Chain A
């Protein structure tokens, strides 16, 4: 990561703001995105993600601040930016009575690629996104997943340096999401593309993003890789382990609490079970990785250990803390 950050950022947002009347959509946003990384812009609906993306492409003008993409001011020279940046809008649409190939060739020709070259490139890309056999079908008959993949081909046909994907995984089935994300990751790794994707779907973003930015009410409240983000949640435990134990006893609880580094032990189902009940799941939070010690403590206190799962702090938890804990957000924001 350090090597990437040392390079000149591809996308540089400086104090970018956008207001619609009274409403502030984007509030003094500062963000750098470096070449070759996959950056996830995360936030609930209406957080200003799409507005930010539009400003990066010069499709809408910021009230103040500037967006510099590939070294060009996007507000002043949108044409130069649009030559280098591929953008797939949220819920991408195609000319429905034209074939997939026609749609791609049209985009290519808008980018001044001569027709013969455009055709061959379009076919290569269609193959790449797995739509080769549907190349001559009308896009009106395409499913959502196919359209999204065609959208990716459409973005790539101009040989961009940066691709911006707005909600790329929205409304596709899990298998489709997996394939699409694998494709995006592949592109970034093998061709050095910088990818910016916005989403409110955490799990998916988590799988492929190098860094994420959390975006709420027009403000970037945190950014970094997922470990950094979970560390940024001050006071919160960095490690969580779930144990399935039987039988349950007070002494076991004390033993678990006694392990060094453990900050909290909670029963999964809330209610205190009767002693000697069946398998009980407890969640243990700790400041360091205490999995091994916990197992030892459980066994030495006479209980049987049925399961032991170290939980990595997921984006989900981070997301919840930021977006649902109202006061916490105030504090962190």
Chain B
């Protein structure tokens, strides 16, 4: 384990040096470690692929669409919705008009798609093309292969998500002519980071399927099935459970609260729910709590003002941790599965 950590440390150190003086440093490092060679190759493959072009197209459309919605809404005087002109810039990401989805909705919808699209054939296509056994017979650790796939995918996702975010910010800046405060900028950056983690989770899930299923189509389908499950059915199931759990006695306050808390907990297993709550809390500083219940005292005594950036982050910190934990869990599953598989040519 410590060897692994050291390897990472060394690799990270190397990259940071590389960014200082890119071309020269690469020449000078006598030989890049196989891991980074693999990451480079994967990244290059993604960027050259048609699927990336298609994804980029969809994402750009979504970006233009959400901007259009936001600008129309703002023109119609939607500031009243946000309630606070202070956060006008943020409302660009959250307001919508005439039923069109806003940026956040687009993002929560597209994020899983990006993750699945990037990862669904990562391992099984190499297997079926006979390249996996060739790469594995080189002096390369088996886990490096998997981690390289993940890291390359995550880097790509980060690039896409951040460029999308900056694009919206930049275009919005030009259109509405209202600059963001540092706090608003920070909120958007953290939101984009969370999005990256969220897409990373879906990338990991699709990697898991690509290790498990030999056919790329099966793996893509299972990824999409899980996505639809969380998007549509999970909420229904939680509601169903909720109805069964609610105490029959309407005066049983404690019972009500327990049932409701359990429901919240259940619904927060879904990564989609976690992402939704975390991102919207960050972009809507007025959200003061994510608890379904607020006692009268709490509501009465609370200062009616938006939360500071730090407090908002604190509020969604558990969500971020949960997202990362879910990502780690699915990566661990992928890892276990992959390490136990036998690698033969084209099977």
Residues of A within 8 A of B (CB): 50, 54, 57, 59-60, 79-80, 82-83, 85-97, 106-107, 109-114, 151, 154, 158, 166
CB proximity of B126 to chain A, nearest CB, Å: 8
Across the interface, which residues of B come within 8 angstroms of A112, CB to CB? 31-34, 139
CA distance A60 to B136 in the complex (A): 11
Q: Cβ of A95 and Cβ of B45 under 8 Å apart?
A: yes
What residues on B are CB-neighbors of A113 within 8 Å? 31
Contact between A93 and B346, CB atoms less than 8 A apart? yes
User: Could you tell me the distance in whole angstroms from the C-beta of B311 to the nearest C-beta in chain A?
Assistant: 48
- Using known A-B contacts A54-B344, A109-B31, A110-B34, determine if residue A92 contacts B129 with beta carbons closer than 8 Å: no
Task: Please judge, given known A-B contacts A59-B137, A154-B134, whether A109 and B345 are in contact too, CB under 8 Å.
Answer: no
Chain A, residue nearest B34 (CB): A110
Give Cα distance in the complex from A110 to B31, angstroms: 9
Tally A-B pairs: CB < 8 A. Answer: 86
- Per the bound structure, the CA–CA distance linking A107 and B137 in Å amounts to 10
Neighbour of A111 across the interface among B41, B130, B139, CB < 8 A: B139
By the criterion CB–CB under 8 Å, are B130 and A91 in contact? yes
Interface string of B129-171 (1 = CB under 8 A from A): 1110111111111000000000000000000000000000000
With most chain A CB atoms within 10 A of its CB, the pick from B31, B133, B135, B342 is B133
| B75 at the A interface (CB under 8 A) | no
- When the two chains form their complex, are residues A110 and B139 in contact, meaning their CB atoms are under 8 A apart? yes
Q: Which of B31, B48, B344 contacts A114 (CB 8 A)?
A: B31
**Residues of chain B in range 15-45 having any CB-CB distance to chain A below 8 Å:** 30-34, 37-38, 41, 45
What CA separation (Å) do A86 and B141 show in the bound complex?
16
Q: How far is the CA of A80 from the CA of B139 in the complex (A)?
A: 7
B interface secondary structure, majority: loop
Say which size band chain B's interface belongs to.
20 to 34
Q: CB < 8 Å: which of A59, A96, A109, A166 contacts B34?
A: A109
**Which of chain A's residues have a CB closer than 8 A to the CB of B140?**
82, 110
- Which residues in chain B, 238-288, are within 8 Å of chain A measured between CB atoms? none
Contact of B342 (CB < 8 Å), options: A54, A92, A109, A110: A54
Nearest-Cβ distance from residue A321 to partner chain B, whole angstroms:
30
Question: Are B344 and A158 interface neighbours, CB within 8 A?
Answer: no
B343 within 8 A of A: yes
CB of A91 within 8 A of CB of B345, answer yes
List of 6 A-B pairs having minimum Cβ-Cβ separation, nearest first = A93-B130, A89-B345, A87-B137, A112-B31, A110-B138, A93-B129
